């Protein structure tokens, strides 16, 4: 079988029929692959860059503001900026719906914003910021807010573009399946690679229980005296560790953004918009009003918001857990890798699952599985080797709801675009897919906040010889796992009221086409 024939089979397309072709679908996915380089380097590592490289992770109050610790200041920055960013999505969606260019309404943003988002990403990790000062915190905060606005300008139209390329729900679902696999691969490369690099380059600055035992044996002292000795000589190591982290994160950000930029341009050049509104553009307030007429979309959005903490262990919290509880940040790479097999299998099975159960029930079933697994992990714990093995199996299973969610929510929102057009005569791709990016950003906000909250509540101090106590380890585990389990349950409830089926979507598309034919 020729490669082109295989791609037609994968995407469900037909050769030379004037509709979506595999080359376009692949170009769309490649743009998403590059986009996730940028999204992941910020979403997973800007927080730890601030706490461990810029040393805002101090457990002492007054690091930035008098009444809270440096870690909680970072947590509120991440939460506040992401919520602000999410609220911008409907505005950007309205701007997209008002855009009229020779390239279409969504595609041009891939071209216009590739360089700005790359520049802002690199600036976020500049290694020249002085550590642990209020002015640095303010500068990083302003830069991060600007980054979030620029990212919104590219993210909303990118996902809206999928409904402009095809109105066939099966083909669109297949395209989104492949695209989400590529996005997951892009995110995975960053997630797995960066901790391995940072762990390797900072290993010489870390003290372990074996190092303390060696000092005790060499000088014939007790553990308290050995730790006092380490505290006496370690300040230069703390600063050297922080400086090394600064430059390592900066270089990683530079490399990944430079790789991402050409992919944005490739996606712009090789895609085509076929289904866009040519009516006169409407106002922001009118577009916001469309959201409240699209009750099916609102149910998807509510489900996504309630599920914001379901994958918190794959965000900053998981990295902190690996670094301070498992004592090796490289284990974070393993945590994320364990999720991949289940997510990959689930992603490949999404077309079959939606045909067998419908999108709605496939989504519900996998999140029931996720809730059961996370509650089991919570009660089993992590403090013995056999328990870690069980939790490793649990992580593989948790890849299933992650993989299905990453694809089906985009497909369901695509269906709600047709629902809105069927109901009101207006498509509103931009405003509808702005809700998908809102869901993603709420998830990133909750993930970052819960992760840093667990860091602070556990009493972690990166400048301490023993950065976390046994009680602190339990606190971090409880916060990360229990919040995820509860969130898995929360995401199911709104979807019980979702009514769009594959049959109904097909009927809506046929009625829309008939109306347009009659109008002509």
Report the number of secondary-structure helices (H) and strands (E) in the chain.
18, 0
In angstroms, rounded to a whole number, what is the distance separating the alpha carbons of residues 364 and 384? 32
pLDDT, tens digit, 9 for 90 and up, residues 50-86: 888 888 876 555 555 555 677 788 888 888 887 887 7
Q: What percentage of the chain has pLDDT greater than the value 70?
A: 90
Query: Ramachandran region of residue 119, left (φ > 0), alpha (ψ -120 to 50) or beta?
Result: alpha
Which of the four pLDDT bands, split at 50, 70 and 90, describes residue 396?
A: very high
Find tokens 């986009």 and name the residue: 35
Cβ atoms 40, 190 nearer than 8 A:
yes
Q: Is residue 9 part of a domain?
A: no
The SS3 of residue 104 is strand
Environment class of 26 (CB within 10 Å of its CB; exposed 0-12, middle 13-18, buried 19+): buried
Q: How many CB atoms lie within 10 A of CB 285?
A: 8
Mention every residue, 6+ apart, whose C-beta is less than 8 A from residue 457.
Answer: 475, 476, 479
Tell me the range of 238-242, 431-435, 490-494 where mean pLDDT is highest: 490-494
Angle between the N-to-C axes of helices 470-495 and 295-306, in degrees from 0 to 180, rounded to the nearest 10: 170
The pLDDT score that the predictor gives to residue 350 is: 86
Read off the tokens for 119.
Answer: 């520049």
What phi and psi, each to the nearest 5 degrees, are found at residue 254?
A: -60, -45
What is the rounded average pLDDT for all residues in the chain?
A: 85
Q: Is residue 183 part of a domain?
A: yes
Q: Is residue 149 part of a domain?
A: yes
Angle between the N-to-C axes of helices 169-202 and 235-269, in degrees from 0 to 180, rounded to the nearest 10: 160
In angstroms, rounded to a whole number, what is the distance separating the alpha carbons of residues 411 and 408? 5
Environment class of 363 (CB within 10 Å of its CB; exposed 0-12, middle 13-18, buried 19+): buried
Q: What percentage of the chain has pLDDT greater than the value 90?
A: 31
Average pLDDT over residues 219-247: 72
| DSSP conformational letter for 312 | G
The pLDDT score that the predictor gives to residue 261 is: 95
Which of the four pLDDT bands, split at 50, 70 and 90, describes residue 280?
A: low
Note down the domain range covering 415: 22-272+281-514
| DSSP conformational letter for 282 | P
Q: How many CB atoms lie within 10 A of CB 419?
A: 23
Q: Is residue 95 part of a domain?
A: yes
Q: Which among 244, 268, 337 has a CA at the least distance from the CA of 101?
A: 268
Q: 3-state DSSP: the chain helix, strand, coil percent, rounded to 5?
A: 80, 0, 20
Q: Is pLDDT at 464 greater than 70 in this prediction? A: no
In angstroms, rounded to a whole number, what is the distance separating the alpha carbons of residues 363 and 415? 15
Q: Is residue 384 part of a domain?
A: yes
In angstroms, rounded to a whole number, what is the distance separating the alpha carbons of residues 92 and 96? 6
- The rounded radius of gyration (Å) of the Cα atoms in the chain is 24
Q: How many CB atoms lie within 10 A of CB 445?
A: 22
Q: Is pLDDT at 371 greater than 90 in this prediction? A: yes
The pLDDT score that the predictor gives to residue 232 is: 62
Q: Which among 435, 412, 408, 376 has a CA at the least distance from the CA of 93?
A: 435
Q: How many CB atoms lie within 10 A of CB 349?
A: 16
Q: Is pLDDT at 487 greater than 90 in this prediction? A: yes
> Within 13 Å, how many C-alpha atoms sit on residue 333's CB side?
14
Q: Is residue 4 part of a domain?
A: no
In angstroms, rounded to a whole number, what is the distance separating the alpha carbons of residues 402 and 313? 12
Which of the four pLDDT bands, split at 50, 70 and 90, describes residue 194?
A: very high
The pLDDT score that the predictor gives to residue 499 is: 93
Q: In this structure, what CATH number is given to the domain that contains residue 324?
A: 1.20.1250.20
Environment class of 337 (CB within 10 Å of its CB; exposed 0-12, middle 13-18, buried 19+): middle
Q: Is pLDDT at 218 greater than 80 in this prediction? A: no
Q: Is residue 131 part of a domain?
A: yes
Read off the tokens for 171.
Answer: 């083909």
Cβ atoms 398, 374 nearer than 8 A:
yes
pLDDT, tens digit, 9 for 90 and up, residues 93-146: 888 888 888 888 889 999 999 999 999 999 999 998 887 788 888 899 899 999
pLDDT, tens digit, 9 for 90 and up, residues 299-358: 999 999 899 888 888 777 788 888 888 877 778 888 888 888 888 888 788 888 988 899
Cβ atoms 262, 34 nearer than 8 A:
yes
Number of domain units in the chain: 1
The pLDDT score that the predictor gives to residue 19 is: 81
pTM of the model: 0.76
Q: Is residue 185 part of a domain?
A: yes
Stretch among 233-242, 247-256, 392-401 having the lowest mean pLDDT: 233-242
In angstroms, rounded to a whole number, what is the distance separating the alpha carbons of residues 511 and 417? 14
């Amino acid at each position: 079988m020729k490669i082109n024939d295989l791609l037609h089979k994968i995407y469900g397309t037909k050769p030379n029929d004037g509709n979506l072709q595999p080359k376009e679908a692949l170009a769309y996915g490649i743009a998403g692959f590059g986009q996730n380089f940028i999204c992941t380097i910020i979403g997973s590592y800007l927080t730890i860059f601030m706490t461990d490289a810029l040393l805002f992770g101090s457990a002492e109050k007054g690091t930035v503001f008098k009444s809270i610790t440096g870690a909680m200041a970072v947590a509120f920055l991440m939460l506040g900026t992401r919520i602000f960013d999410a609220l911008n999505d409907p505005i950007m969606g309205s701007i997209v719906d008002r855009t009229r260019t020779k390239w279409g309404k969504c595609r041009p943003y891939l071209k216009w914003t590739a360089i700005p988002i790359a520049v802002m990403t690199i600036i976020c990790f500049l290694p020249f910021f002085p550590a642990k000062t209020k002015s640095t915190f303010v500068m990083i905060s302003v830069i991060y807010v600007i980054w979030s606005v620029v990212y919104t300008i590219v993210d909303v139209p990118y996902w809206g573009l999928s409904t402009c390329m095809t109105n066939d729900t099966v083909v669109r679902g297949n395209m989104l399946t492949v695209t989400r696999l590529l996005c997951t691969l892009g995110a995975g490369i960053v997630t797995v690679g960066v901790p391995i690099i940072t762990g390797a380059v900072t290993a010489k600055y870390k003290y372990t229980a074996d190092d303390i035992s060696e000092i005790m044996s060499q000088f014939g002292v007790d553990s308290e005296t050995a730790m006092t000795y380490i505290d006496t000589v370690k300040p230069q190591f703390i600063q050297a560790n922080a400086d090394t982290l600064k430059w390592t994160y900066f270089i990683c950000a530079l490399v990944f953004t430079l790789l991402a930029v050409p992919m944005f341009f490739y996606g712009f050049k090789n895609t085509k918009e076929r289904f866009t509104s040519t009516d006169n553009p409407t106002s922001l307030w009118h577009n916001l009003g469309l959201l409240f007429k699209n009750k099916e979309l609102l149910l998807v959005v509510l489900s996504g918001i309630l599920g914001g903490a379901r994958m918190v262990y794959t965000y900053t919290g998981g990295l902190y857990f690996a670094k301070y509880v498992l004592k090796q940040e490289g284990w974070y790479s393993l945590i994320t890798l364990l999720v991949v097999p289940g997510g990959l299998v689930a992603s490949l099975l999404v077309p079959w699952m939606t045909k067998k159960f419908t999108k709605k029930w496939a989504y519900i079933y996998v999140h029931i599985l996720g809730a059961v697994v996370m509650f089991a992990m919570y009660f089993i714990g992590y403090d013995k080797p056999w328990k870690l093995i069980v939790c490793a199996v649990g992580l593989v299973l948790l890849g299933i709801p992650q993989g299905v969610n990453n694809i089906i929510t985009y497909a369901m929102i695509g269906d709600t675009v047709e629902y809105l057009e069927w109901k009101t005569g207006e498509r509103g791709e931009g405003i509808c897919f702005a809700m998908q990016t809102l869901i993603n950003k709420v998830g990133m906000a909750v993930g970052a906040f819960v992760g840093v909250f667990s860091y602070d509540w556990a009493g972690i101090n990166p400048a301490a010889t023993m950065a976390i106590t046994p009680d602190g380890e339990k606190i971090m585990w409880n916060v990360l796992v229990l919040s995820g389990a509860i969130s898995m349950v929360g995401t199911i409830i709104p979807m019980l009221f979702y009514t769009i089926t594959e049959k109904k979507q097909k009927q809506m598309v046929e009625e829309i086409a008939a109306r347009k034919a009659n109008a002509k």
